[in-house]
Structure formats: structure tokens, C-alpha cells
Amino acid sequence: MTYRTRNIAIAVGLALVAMLLTLFYVVNYRRSVQNGQSMTDVYVMTRDLPAGTPGGTVAASLHSIAVPKRAVEPGAISSPSQVAALVLSQPLYKGDQVTLRRFTSVTAEGISGQLKTVWRAIQVAGDPNQLLAGTIKAGDHVDLLANFHEPGGQLVSRIELRNIQVLQAPNAPSGGVGGSQSSAILMVSDTQVQRLWYVVKNSDWALELRPALGAVDRPDVSANSANTLTESSTK
């Protein structure tokens, strides 16, 4: 083989290698483009919703559409159930893809995350005996017992509200249960709060702890001087 023939053979070989590399690149590029153009389902909003919206409301406001895989946003949900127990931490607008990045857990939202529809939180101040300080804890349920004068001057005791959830318990008293003030945060409805506030401001009152399981409420009976002195009860 002459020098010239060998050079020609080398040149042809390099051209073949370059052609194969180019072909390999084109095939792979075409495959990546095709993969990027393949469609997948995502969930988008059908209306605007503000931060703080419960996940159940968001889940009921979703619509599934097909988009190219390359257009799917990071963290996009694959089912509405993924957000049903969460809380929206950022606003969502009509047409937005729904991603987990825009949600937080209810517990992370604190007390406000536990309030829905008609429920409200109110902070009530009182002495440790009234508030069962050191006894109740967040999540417990209590009744509100009141002692006040009815029209006509008769003194009456009765349970005014039942099954109130404690959102934040009072701190345990330090050095006895004297007259030091404490406070608790209670969850009541938007109508119960009026009755609770009236009792707190116009009577002697106290919270009583309910059983954690199997609590039963008997019919309400007011206690006054007449029936307390003449009747006896063993249960």
C-alpha cells in the first residue's frame, strides 16, 4: 500500500466515524424530542383560591388536562387526594398547575389551621381553678359551668356550653393555685362565642373536663336554692 492510498483509507475511515457519530446524535435527539412531546395528565385550578384555603376545597376545584411531559411543573400532583388533608400556603389562580410546593400541613398552620367554617378561637382569662390549669391539655374537651343571678334575683347554677375543644391549655400554676391569672384558648362556634363571653363577664364560672371517650350528656337541669336543698342525688 502506497503512502497516498493509506492516507485516503484513513480519511475514508474518519469520515465513516464522523457519519456514525452524527447519526447517533440525530437519533438520540429525535428520541428526546419525542419523549418531551409525549403527553401526561396534570391537575389545574378551575378558579382562584387564596392562601389558607383547606385542601378539600382545592381538591374540589381541580380539572385534569393533558400537557407535554416537559411542561409538567416540579411537584405536580397526580391525584387530588394528595392535597385533601393539607392547607394552601400560597394563592392559586385559574389555570395554575397544582403542586405540593404550594401547600403546608394543618399543624404547621397552628391554631388558625384548625378553624373551619363557623368555628372560632377565643382566649379566656381566669384563675387556675377556673381553667383547670395543669390538668387540661390541647385537644381535651370541656364544659362551661356558670353560677349567676337570674331575673328576679334567684341564684342559679347550670352548664351553659358543652363539648368545647381546648386549642391551647393554660400553663400549670407555679407555687400553688392562688389568685394568679392564666388563660386558655377555646374553639367555639360563631354563635356559642356570644354565650361564652356573656358567662365569663357576668357570672362565676369554671371549666369541667369531659371524658376522653364515651362522654354522655344528661338533660340540662339548673340548680337553685329550692331544688338543691330539697333534692338529693347520688349519681
Tens digit of pLDDT for each residue in 191-206? 999 999 999 999 999 9
Identify the three-state secondary structure at position 220.
coil
Which three three-digit cell numbers place residue 107? 399543624
How many CB atoms neighbour CB 219 within 10 A?
A: 4
CA atoms within 13 A of residue 145's CA, in its CB half-sphere:
14
CA 187 vs CA 75, 136, 141, 156, 168: distances in Å:
34, 14, 10, 25, 9
**pLDDT at 176 (0 to 100):** 54
- Beta-bridged to residue 124, according to DSSP, are 184
- Cβ burial of 84 (10 Å; 0-12, 13-18, 19+) is middle
Domains of the chain by range and CATH?
39-109 (3.90.1210.10), 117-213+222-229 (no CATH)
Where in the chain does DSSP place strands (E)?
A: 39-45, 62-68, 86-88, 103-105, 119-126, 141-149, 155-168, 182-189, 204-209, 223-224
Identify whether the C-beta of residue 112 lies closer than 8 Å to the C-beta of residue 53. no
Residues of the chain with pLDDT under 70: 1, 3-4, 7, 26-27, 29-37, 106-109, 175-179, 226, 228-235
CA 205 vs CA 6, 127, 133, 160, 219: distances in Å:
108, 10, 14, 10, 20
Global confidence as pTM: 0.55
Which residue, among 55, 211, 201, has the nearest Cα to 140 in the 3D structure? 211
